[in-house]
Amino acid sequence: MSNTPIEGRKVTIGSYLALIFAVVFFSGALQSNQWYGVFDFTTLNGSFGSVVYSVSDTTDGVEAASTSFRGKGGSGARDGFIFALTLIPTVMFALGMINVLEHYGALDAARKLLTPLLRPLMGIPGNSGLALIASLQSTDAGAAMTRQLQDEGHLTKRETDIFTMFQFSAGAAIVNFFSSGAVLFTLTTASGEPAVTSSIGLAVAIMFIFKFVGANLFRVYLNITEGKDNKDTKPTTVAQENA
């Protein structure tokens, strides 16, 4: 991210357009194999191919069993290293996109629009809005963007801790819920009635409510253990460390 002081930047129409694009890009709203999928983070991030790990003869012919890029049956440090390796493309792509969007003023527009909302709700600045949106789709992208915001001095250590608590509760909520949890709402009882009587919208609302509840419970904990005076302590930025 840029080291230009955020106070000296002017928010323009282009900044708001960049913010709108960023919200759509990281929200997952356009996730699809259709042409408009090129404007979605998860679609462009892609996925690893499958690896064949066993072949067997059956009455129908030869069948090959496949697994993910990480393989099957791994453990310990080696398996952990392979898992960490799979995170690199996502993190690099997310940080690259956020740097491009920041160049066009998306973070400045987010700070101006979202600070009046996020300050009362969680005590964090509005320029963390893009990281918040990204974290709803990808925990890796949200974590990487949050770390960079702290390194650049946009977030204090206290704000980073609170924001991390928000992300930790129901991580990647949108993707995980609609890819696995939403199937519960299609189940029916023996009589044909829905097995889950609540709506998908209610379930999503509860997840979001308790993400904010969790963040604010952590704010209370920090107030008790550290006091309110620490909330204005700015972290040492990368530029300051290298000075």
In a domain, 139, yes or no: yes
Kindly state the average pLDDT of the residues 60-67: 76
User: Where does the pLDDT of residue 162 fall: very low under 50, low under 70, confident under 90, or very high at 90 and above?
Assistant: very high
Q: Domain of residue 34: give its range.
A: 6-45+88-242
Please report whether residue 64 resides in a domain: no
pLDDT at residue 195 in the model:
78
pLDDT of residue 3: 47
Mean pLDDT comparison of 52-56, 140-144, 179-183, highest-scoring range: 140-144
Position 25 in a domain: yes
pLDDT of residue 218: 93
Q: Is the residue at 206 inside a domain?
A: yes
- Domain assignment present for residue 58? The answer is no
Residue 137 lies in a domain: yes
Total of domains in the chain: 1
Over the chain, what is the mean pLDDT? 80
pTM of the model: 0.64
pLDDT value at residue 83: 80
Q: Which helix (H) or strand (E) holds 53?
A: strand 51-58
